[in-house]
Chains A and B, each alone.
Chain A
Amino acid sequence: MSDWLELELSERLAPVQAPDELWDRVVNGAGKRGRRLLPFAAPIAAVVMLILAGAIWFMARGQQPSAAFRQFPTSAHADACLLCHNTL
């Protein structure tokens, strides 16, 4: 391995001091875990919910007319055709 790389790694990866607030984090359990994801997770969850709601609404809306249409001659106006077509 090159000497310059050995030197660079030793210098650039040198130990650092732990921040003072680390003890508070350990003792009180206050952490940032998940906070970085949260700004993305909330909008993504909202968009997914909207898409799901839209899909459900669209499917429900699409089914209603056809169901009503299928029921139309048999229920509401079952004998309407007989008014004109006596032989039916």
Chain B
Amino acid sequence: MEVNGQTANSPRRVTMVLEGSDRELVAACQRGEAEAFRALFELYKDKLFSIAFRFSGDRSTAMDIAQDAFLKLFSRIGEFRGESSFETWVYRVVVNSCLDYRRRSRRLLPLADAFLGRLTEPRDCLAELMRSEMDARVRAAVDHLPPDLRIVVVLRYTEGLSYDDIAEVLGCPPGTVASRLNRAHKLLERRLSHLVRKGNTRV
């Protein structure tokens, strides 16, 4: 197959795909071009993994979620009709993977999972522990948010999406996003305020 005078296996072609807009890349994926899938993966891997990691709070779970999201992305890319931006569509796929994971894990053994996580926690030196203390507490507080609030927090602070963008990803009105963020902030403030009061400085 030839595109712009280049054969399918030429290096020029890969460069063209990588430099192309989302639309070209998606079209190439829809035609089943392997390089396009790889380029798409490179473009979105950090975004997808970050959302999965910040949502789940665990690296291996994030790998599972990101893997699942990419498999869905690749297998359903033919269904993308361009009604929303491709990025929004990608966000929707990973958000659904996160929430699916949450629904599955609720039926399994969350306590055993937490116990295993505690057992496998790395034993850091004191300085490292001090530095990561606040990190761990903020993450734990976020982990304890209900999934519908947590995903809004992750999209807002990990990806820096606007209320309108989050609303588009979640398929709800921006007012709902604002109210969920407000509830999440109140819960987080209540859970973390003692850390600020204690030292009156951030760790």
Q: With contacts defined as CB atoms under 8 Å apart, how many contacts are there between chain A and chain B in the complex?
A: 88
Is A46 located at the chain interface by the 8 A CB criterion?
Answer: no
Question: B residues 29-60 with Cβ under 8 Å of A?
Answer: 38, 41, 45-50, 53-54, 59-60
Binds B, one of A19-27, A52-60, A63-71, A75-83: A19-27
* A40 engages B45 (CB within 8 Å): no
Q: B67 and A25: CB pair below 8 A?
A: yes
CA distance A1 to B184 in the complex (A): 10
Count A interface residues, CB 8 Å.
28
Our pick among A8, A26, A37, A40 for the contact of B192 (Cβ within 8 Å) is A8
A45 on the interface (CB 8 Å rule)? no
Given A22-B63, A36-B60, the answer on whether A15 and B45 have CB atoms closer than 8 Å is no
Q: Mark A1-36, 1 if CB is under 8 A from B, else 0.
A: 110110111101111111101110110010111001
Min CB distance, B29 to chain A, in Å?
A: 13
Q: Is the CB of A4 within 8 A of B159?
A: no
Min CB–CB distance A72 → chain B (angstroms): 51
Which chain B residues have a beta carbon within 8 Å of chain A's beta carbons?
A: 38, 41, 45-50, 53-54, 59-60, 63-64, 66-67, 70-71, 74, 108-109, 112-113, 116, 134-135, 138-139, 142, 153-154, 156-159, 182, 185, 188-189, 192, 196, 202
Q: 7 closest A-B pairs (Cβ-Cβ)?
A: A18-B49, A15-B50, A18-B45, A12-B138, A13-B157, A9-B157, A1-B185
Report A's interface with B, CB cutoff 8 A: 1-2, 4-5, 7-10, 12-19, 21-23, 25-26, 29, 31-33, 36-37, 40
